[in-house]
Structure 1
């Protein structure tokens, strides 16, 4: 593990690598991908650069590792962004050249299965960014959510503090990305619920670590990119969020239970828990079912904290991860959680 370094930020006109370190879904679902590329270029002023596996389904871990190496080694590439997540990025990690990546640090943006690469960069000493993808955030039907766009723009271009704010409205349902009609109107949203605070109310400032809970659980099981000396996480701010696979409350509790039994959960004086995804195309919950799912997940998280980390301050339903709008949070960078003032400030 190396001391954290914020890589230099890109400027409008710079080239940005667009990679698919997990799934090559741009090749199957080009509509949100092409829309995301257009916004990246026209609205953000960056020049997207694709690689051999960016649109390739079924690429090998070696092929994807080669693309990561090529993007980081190229001095004309000033940032890297994932097209989307997936489910097997853990197989890419053993093939990565840490010294090559460390020698040319660049801002990386991704989430979900990209938790693997975020944790890898954390141990490499490179501050990355949990959030931002071409297909989901940049390729959002209708228009980008203003909260997402402002956060992503600041994280890309502007160093310094950025205060997060709860969404006044959010979207939980999805539409078919293969249907052109999906992209001709704004998605339906519902009123925001604000944040829920739990535990001792104080001010905590520290490096962030964590990510998608299911992916993080896989890293813990495999013993990859997890520090043997758990004191490395002392004083850090834990980020956790769940995916569209909709793990039930018992499963969420068991994953946190494992972290607790390992002695990991209590290392973090603060937890930011993302607003849970409660609906998917495979599990189309009613509003009542969605509300129940969210309540049960919150209860599971708090039960685990009460058992293993009663001194941890938690902020629930923060708008990051598998939600829309999505706030970008530095991964390995600094977050300040002010419980009494109900404020969260991150350092971009």
Structure 2
């Protein structure tokens, strides 16, 4: 059974921890600003001990896992939001207290990139809905027209409709060391969702997905069974969304083939691919990588959805019942948290 965390309310506590990369001293003012942004909106924010940057991770795996487990199991903490992703959160996946969490009330988990590594298994193993959206450090940015801020998704009690923005930015950010309170994306690119091969799309299914580079390492383990999730929780079918962070196209192609062989698309009715700035491999593009690995599936593929590492960010809820429409000038997704 799918389980959705109750909507966030002012006064709820939000836990901040870094299960992967921590925050350097030079960016602590940005972290403080992001925490203050949430507090100004009425949330009680608890910042954990695993927040620094002694290495590529915020601390020993035992400490990171213990703090994450504590926050996920604390009934007073209604959301857990890391500052950002990182590189090797996979080292704590088997240290999560899965048995205790199976009996716990679900908590909102928010983030993307390496956060996918431990967030997606919460959905696949426990049926917890999880929120693939901006990390804490991105939270102060004003939502672009057409997109709902993650805090509004987590507080919603009805359907959430978003649509393509038509704009994007390569980096998109200001310099947080110079201006820790930066809140407006620099979006100087133009582009919108495109269905591979042309035409339109009108499909409904359960959302599931995340970052290709990190999620692909879960295949073949007890933590990445999308095929099982489809059988157990998605009578309506699946809408699988994926996004490349930074790996060259040929590496992404290999990863996507691995996801295909692991059954990730067995129950899919459509595939959404996030806009990416990841490099090509010579003349072999990121779009070529997707078509090479997934074009044989005879599924509609929608490119350049705002769910990747290129801002702005369209929050998607793993487990939500989604309706995606691409028709004429309409490029829209509606999510129901049920």
Shorter-chain TM range is: 0.7 to 0.9
Q: CA deviation at 1:347?
A: 2.2
SS of the residue aligned with 1:72? Answer: helix
Gap regions ≥5 residues in structure 1: 280-288
The 5 Å alignment of 1:1-348 reads 3-25=1-23, 27=25, 29-42=27-40, 44-55=41-52, 57=54, 58-102=58-102, 103-122=104-123, 123-135=125-137, 137-140=138-141, 144-147=142-145, 150-173=148-171, 177=175, 179-181=177-179, 186-198=184-196, 201-220=200-219, 223-227=221-225, 230=228, 232=230, 235-243=237-245, 246-278=246-278, 296-307=285-296, 309-310=297-298, 312-340=299-327, 342-348=331-337
Alpha-carbon distance in structure 2 between the residues aligned to 1:175 and 1:111: 17
Alpha-carbon distance in structure 1 between the residues aligned to 2:87 and 2:36: 26
Equivalence for 1:283 = none
Bigger drift between 82-91 and 231-240 goes to 231-240
Alpha-carbon distance in structure 2 between the residues aligned to 1:182 and 1:278: 26
Bigger drift between 51-60 and 122-131 goes to 51-60
SS of the residue aligned with 1:82? Answer: coil
Number of residue pairs the alignment of both structures matches: 325
Which structure has greater helix proportion?
1
Q: CA deviation at 1:338?
A: 2.7
Query: What's the RMSD between the two structures over aligned residues?
Result: 2.9
Gap regions ≥5 residues in structure 2: none
Q: CA deviation at 1:48?
A: 1.2
Q: CA deviation at 1:111?
A: 0.8
Bigger drift between 195-204 and 105-114 goes to 195-204
Q: CA deviation at 1:256?
A: 1.4
Q: Could you tell me the TM-score, scaled by structure 1's length? A: 0.83
